[in-house]
Amino acid sequence: MTAPRRDSLKADSITPWGIVFMVVATAAPLTAMATALPLVVGFGNGVAAPGTFLLVAVVLALFAVGYTSMSAHVVNAGAFYAYISAGLGRRIGMAAGLVAVVAYNVLTIYVVGLIGYFSQQTFEAQLGLDLPWWLFSAVALTIALVIGVRGVELNVRALGVILLIETGVLVLFDLVAVARHGLDVLPAESFSPSEVVSGSPGLALLFAVTCFIGFEATAIFGEEARDPHRTVPKATYLAISVIGTLYVLTAWILVGTNGGTDAGSVAAADPGAFTIDAMASVLGDGSTTVIDWLLLTSLLAVLMALHNMSSRYLMAFGREGVLPRYLARTHPERQTPQAAGITQAAIVALAALVYVVAGADPYVDLGSQAAGIGSLSVIILMALCSFSVPFYFRRRGAVRPWHHVIAPVAAALALAYFAFVILDNYAVVTGSDSDLVNAMPVLILATAVVGFVIGSRQRRAPILDAVGQGDQAESPTPTP
């Protein structure tokens, strides 16, 4: 029996629904509804928050058209790196790839801060235990690392259980609210175009898009998927359908439960209580305790999913020889990204340690500073990926207008606008008046420049060899 390669992931180990569990867990429906939705309602466009979520879901569905078209031809754990390299060449691809490495690692750091903060609050309130936040963060990070090394199958099972429970609570709330109050919790104004563009629609888009971050990661698990050419597209559409439907419906009912057209003032007065109070009013006061604990498991699911994504990006770059080749080494038996996983956990731990030593707040400081830069980076990568689609298929010699041009270009333009909105409101994202903190998006540009220079110096790019595309296309090949 031939021993598995030490730089390859375990093939044929994850189903479409398994990938869906991984990426929907990253989106964290309960966390999104409890933390981001109140900001969309209170400081964005009020009653039209559900309409904003619907708009974002439509744009991301357009993005998925081109994204899944690429996934049928390019299978690599580098995802954005591989796709953009195949479409726009190794220089831009390398720039995007390094930005992706930074983005997913920063988002992991963000969640480590959040889980430490909310764990400390919950354990003190529910159990009377006053422990430092970093202790909870360390335990959660260790759990994510151990499960990540044990294998993607265990990840899927663990995330599946957590996701089904938190999604079940949201669905139960939706059903009970409609059963008790009927159409009164479904205000028609939520989808009125005039309401959607009222207030601060840009700010509403900003937080709504952030809620969807993670669904684009379906391609990262392509190497481990069963029949990836079919699995990745199916998982992508399933993920955006599940997330979009749940967000739009739950946001609609939460707005209706909080007074419909008056929901904006309710959320602005106390964003933290907006979702929890509404769920308690429908499910009973005892549900508050359950929701507090479910929020922690939801955050743990996010951390596990982001750790897996970050590890696979590090592994892909180690395999390319851009980062130390040690990162490409997988577990000898389970074929999981062992070296990259350990390295990723160490990077996150060191970053969190800096904030611990500085006495910084894990939510206000660590959380807000990491969230904005991570989300902005992923949105820029999605836009760039969409722009790369028509170039890739033009080189192949067979272009389908809707799949390869119209849908991806429309998505790219919309996502580019979203990125502009985030930059224009960046101080709101961080909640800081520090010029240094609000200048952090410069790091994205700096990282991209470094990647571009590395790409310019590469004589060959293994990813481009694998897909038969480089800066200069070979003879056109018909699309299968």
Structural domain includes residue 425 = yes
The average pLDDT across 417-431 equals: 82
Structural domain includes residue 472 = no
Question: Which pLDDT tens digit goes with each residue over 259-317?
Answer: 999 999 999 998 878 998 999 999 998 888 888 888 898 888 888 878 888 888 888 78
- Check residue 395 and give its pLDDT: 85
Assessment of whether the complete model's pTM goes beyond 0.85: no
Structural domain includes residue 166 = yes
Structural domain includes residue 176 = yes
Structural domain includes residue 36 = yes
Most confident of 119-123, 185-189, 319-323: 185-189
pLDDT at 179 over 80: yes
- Check residue 255 and give its pLDDT: 97
The average pLDDT across 49-71 equals: 92
Structural domain includes residue 7 = no
The average pLDDT across 406-418 equals: 95
Q: 312 and 320 in contact (C-beta within 8 Å)? A: no
Q: Which residues pair with 14 in a beta bridge?
A: 225
- Check residue 2 and give its pLDDT: 47
Q: What percent of the chain has pLDDT over 90?
A: 36
| More confident of the two residues 297 and 465 | 297
Question: Which pLDDT tens digit goes with each residue over 346-365?
Answer: 999 999 999 899 888 887 67
How far lies 8's CA from each of 77, 150, 245, in Å? 10, 15, 35
pLDDT at 463 over 70: no
- Check residue 421 and give its pLDDT: 84
The average pLDDT across 380-388 equals: 94
Domain ranges, residue 175:
16-467
* Backbone angles phi and psi of 225, in degrees to 5: -80, 155
Dihedral of CA atoms 289, 293, 295, 299 in degrees, nearest 10, equals 170
**34: domain CATH number?**
1.20.1740.10
| More confident of the two residues 145 and 302 | 145
pLDDT at 442 over 50: yes
331: three-class secondary structure by DSSP: coil
Q: What percent of the chain has pLDDT over 70?
A: 83
Structural domain includes residue 129 = yes
Domain count, the chain: 1
Name the pLDDT band for 57 (thresholds 50, 70, 90): very high
Structural domain includes residue 1 = no
Q: Which of 349, 384, 12, 38 is nearest to 211 (CA)?
A: 38
